Amino acid sequence: MLKIKNIHAGVENKSILNGINLEVKPGEVHAIMGPNGSGKSTLASVLAGREDFEVTEGSVEFLGKDLLAMKPEDRAREGIFLAFQYPIEIPGVSTVNFMKTALNKIREYRGQDALDAVSFLTLMKEKIKLVEIDQSLLSRSLNEDFSGGEKKRNEIFQMAMLEPKLAILDETDSGLDIDALRIVANGVNKLRTKDNATIVVTHYQRLLDYIVPDYVHVLYQGKIVKSGTKELAMELEEKGYDWIKSEMEVA
Amino acid sequence: MSKDNQVLEEFSSKEYEHGWSIDLESDSAPKGLSEEIVRFISLKKNEPEWLLEWRLKAFRHWLTMKEPKWPNVKYPPIDYQDIIYYSAPKQKVQPKNLSEVDPELIETFKKLGISLTEQKRLTGVAVDAVIDSISVATTFKEKLGELGIIFCSFSEAVREHPDLVKKYLGTVVPSNDNYYAALNSAVFSDGSFCYIPKGVRCPMELSTYFRINAANTGQFERTLIIAEEGSYVSYLEGCTAPMRDENQLHAAVVELYAMKSAEIKYSTVQNWYPGDKDGKGGIYNFVTKRGICAGDYSKISWTQVETGAAITWKYPSCILKGDYSNGEFYSVAVTNNYQQADTGTKMIHIGKHTRSRIVSKGISIGKSQNSYRGQVHILKRAENARNFSQCDSLLMGDQCGAHTFPYIDVENKSAHVEHEATTSKIGEDQIFYCLQRGIDEEAAIALIVNGYAKEVLKQLPMEFAVEAQKLLALTLEGSVG
Ligand SMILES: Nc1ncnc2c1ncn2[C@@H]1O[C@H](COP(=O)(O)OP(=O)(O)OP(=O)(O)O)[C@@H](O)[C@H]1O
Ligand SMILES: [Mg+2]
């Protein structure tokens, strides 16, 4: 589904990603861990098409297409969803309105008719249940005065609405209380099918108890320096990143 | 000889003594403005003597006045002698079907989601009998008639309800109020008149759409709305369809009069031709709008969405005379390309416990200039007056300008006046967030701008609000770099 080959990316004179290779197949869950500033969010942004980052080398294939050649909105329409580490406020625009606009733009791209009000509401009700989000939140201004946890939950609601093929969750677990973490993780699990895939960026092994990953990768200084299964996450939890860093230095 | 002709005769012979030289048979007056022209207009409209005198007084005053120079707008001097001040409403050549209409206009209609029937009506294509707007208007008028509501053209009101017109005309905006109001008072062509009797709640939105003879009211429009004690009316002016007009100068006057516990809600969507991308052409819209809350507990609310005109000079205001009266002003003004807008409001608190609320949202794009100018004046006897003002500016690009000129004048210590102002830009983060959800940049900007203007848009009657949203999106088109 997703083939990242030797991606180098950065801003102006600073390189942030230094040759990333990653392959994600349908139905898989990949966890990406790594110390602060290692380039996790940058990788997510590059995949989503943020123009601030210049890709200097490498290629990304998504469902057989050249992802890097696509405009960001088309990447979303092709099925890439990014749950933002820091969701953005849009005053005066409700989540409902935002989702209606997004969904219909995506449908238009796929040659489908716009959803009528009733079908949209039915879909929304269904997804509200799935991610157990407070409905009143959805008619408020998007992310404005939302608590940290509410913002994250809202991201997952949006993901449920748009049913992406590849979801990238950038630290969706930070800021969530224990119950919310379980609920959000359950939501993500319920949305899993054999055809879609998920990349979860996280600092905590705890999330991976709920969303069980097929692979865990460690990103350090813009490179994937170690890959393994969920046991790797537990090892990291126990030992921290120092052993990886020292391993790196030895090598 | 018919009575009308007799009057005409009398006037023309009388005028002759003063060197009357205008061909009275002519459908339009020659260029220029003089007492003669004012008399000609009044005569052509068969007006009573008192109205002619009123016009003349305004004209004489206008001669002594100077064009205001304080607005933050620039334009070449207007030659007032190069304007035709009267031409009889002409029956335009009707296009037979929409294919004969300017395709650019049709394209805009489509984007605005205006129905085919409505497109035909707006472009003057003959519509079939069932949906003929005149028949709609007739049924509508009957219904209003049963409630005692008068809703007609200004000329008709002068003929049919002269006492009401005479009593209220110029009481809110005196004929010598300002340069353009004086000009309008001297030469106004036509407009709307509306009277809501005591205790009547007007059951529908009154819009010029339903008024017969609404077309061709000309460049000097005059509107007068009177709401008797305990009545309510919501009035809609303008439409979202682009309004083209070969007259460059428009100077309208609107007067609202609210008695005790009456409420008038006045909504405008202004979409005059703004000129082309290089700033050529476009309408100068110099409007005086004012309402008086004459009775206790009365309320006047102005809502405006201004997207058109090359230059807008407009300050819908409220005189809060009655105790506990309430004035509101909600405005969205968008300027693009070379457009200039200097708009805002005046809230004059005279009565005790009067309240006012101002919400102004300016949006500047391209090389345009957008100014908010507002005055809050709390007079000495206005015990416990309250005002809240919120003036926000949104800038798109770095060649446009936003300016805020708030004037606050408080003569009573018990007053509470709050003013908030913000200037913002659409953030890259916001755009990227939208893009990531599959919303393209143009749609993203429209969404963000509509969100920004929501507090104002939600004041509009439902159907109008939807159209106004589309209109905003359309105005923003092409603003993405
Ligand atoms: N627009 C930018 N301009 C300059 N430097 C940037 C920019 N964006 C990111 N960086 C830098 O790139 C590095 C990687 O940042 P990134 O946000 O990808 O880290 P991260 O792994 O997501 O960290 P965290 O765990 O704290 O979220 C950091 O040093 C950061 O300061
Ligand atoms: Mg990060």
Please state the atom number of ligand 1 nearest to the C-alpha of residue A44: 18
Domain limits for position B445: 427-481
Mean pLDDT of A14-38: 95
Sign of the alpha-carbon dihedral angle for B430, B436, B440, B441: positive
Q: Which residue has the higher pLDDT, B238 or A205?
A: A205
- Residue B46, class by beta-carbon neighbours within 10 Å (0-12 exposed, 13-18 middle, 19+ buried)? middle
- Cβ contact (<8 Å) for B438 and A162? yes
For residues B49 and B185, state if they share a domain: yes
Chain centroid to CA A117: how far? 28
- Is B330 inside a domain boundary? no
Ligand 1 pocket: which of A7, A15, A16, A224 to mutate (most atoms within 8 A of CB): A16
- Is B59 inside a domain boundary? yes
- Is B361 inside a domain boundary? no
Q: In whole angstroms, give the CA distance from residue B166 to residue B159.
A: 11
For the stretch A70-84, pLDDT in tens is 999 999 999 999 999
Nearest-ligand number for the alpha carbon of A45:
1
CA–centroid distance, A82 to ligand 2, in Å, is 12
Angle at B438 between CA B437 and CA B440, to 5 degrees: 120
CA–centroid distance, A23 to ligand 2, in Å, is 20
pLDDT score for B71? 85
Please state the atom number of ligand 1 nearest to the C-alpha of residue A219: 21
Interface predicted TM-score of the whole assembly (ipTM), two decimals: 0.96
- Is B365 inside a domain boundary? no
- Is B355 inside a domain boundary? no
pTM here is 0.83
Q: Pick the residue whose CA is nearest to atom 8 on ligand 1.
A: A42
pLDDT score for B125? 54
pLDDT score for B378? 96
Pocket of ligand 1 (CB under 6 A): A 11, 14, 16, 34, 36-42, 52, 85
For residues B138 and B260, state if they share a domain: yes
Tell which residue, A158, A176, A249, has the closest CA to residue B439. A158
Domain count, chain B: 2
pLDDT score for B83? 81
pLDDT score for B296? 98
* Selected residues 55-84 of chain A with any CB under 8 Å from a CB in chain B: 71-73, 75-77, 81-82, 84
Mean pLDDT rounded to a whole number for chain A: 93
pLDDT in tens, chain B (481 residues): 344 444 434 433 333 333 344 555 566 778 888 999 999 989 888 899 999 999 999 999 999 999 888 888 888 888 888 888 877 655 455 666 667 766 666 666 666 666 666 666 556 554 443 333 444 555 677 788 899 999 888 888 999 999 999 999 999 999 999 999 999 999 998 888 999 999 999 988 887 654 433 344 457 889 999 999 999 999 988 766 566 666 678 899 999 999 999 999 999 988 887 777 777 778 888 999 999 999 999 999 999 999 888 889 899 999 999 999 999 999 999 888 888 888 999 999 999 999 999 999 999 988 888 999 999 999 999 999 999 999 999 998 888 888 999 999 999 999 999 999 999 888 889 999 999 999 999 999 999 999 999 999 999 887 778 878 888 888 777 665 4
pLDDT score for B113? 62
Structure tokens given for B383: 């015990």
Report helix, strand or coil for B74.
coil
pLDDT score for B90? 52
Q: From B284, B314, B344, give the residue that closes a domain.
A: B314
The CA distance from A137 to the nearest CA of chain B, in Å, is 16
Residue of A nearest to B439 (CA): A102
Phi-psi region of A58 (alpha: psi -120 to 50; beta: other; left: phi over 0): left
Q: Which residue has the higher pLDDT, B30 or A166?
A: A166
CB A30 within 8 A of CB A213: yes
pLDDT score for A245? 80
Partner residue opposite B438 with nearest CB, options A50, A52, A106 = A106
Q: In whole angstroms, give the CA distance from residue B204 to residue B218.
A: 26
- Is B53 inside a domain boundary? yes
- Is B382 inside a domain boundary? no
pLDDT score for B127? 44
For residues B31 and B167, state if they share a domain: yes
For the stretch A92-106, pLDDT in tens is 999 999 999 999 999
For the stretch A25-36, pLDDT in tens is 999 999 999 999
Partner residue opposite B447 with nearest CB, options A84, A93, A106 = A93
For residues B310 and B437, state if they share a domain: no
For residues B446 and B309, state if they share a domain: no
Q: Does A88 touch chain B (CB under 8 A)?
A: yes
Q: From B314, B345, B361, give the residue that closes a domain.
A: B314
Alpha helix stretches (DSSP H) within chain A: 40-48, 72-78, 95-109, 117-131, 135-138, 148-162, 178-191, 205-210, 230-239, 242-250
For residues B14 and B147, state if they share a domain: yes
B432 contacts in chain A (CB < 8 Å): 48, 50, 72, 88
Please state the atom number of ligand 1 nearest to the C-alpha of residue A45: 18
Residue of B nearest to A107 (CA): B438
- Is B265 inside a domain boundary? yes
Mean pLDDT of A138-160: 94
CA distances for B352 relative to A76, B355, B378, angstroms? 57, 9, 10
B473 contacts in chain A (CB < 8 Å): none
Side chain identity at residue A160, one-letter code: A
- Cβ contact (<8 Å) for A102 and B430? no
Nearest-ligand number for the alpha carbon of A39:
1
Q: From B293, B314, B335, give the residue that closes a domain.
A: B314
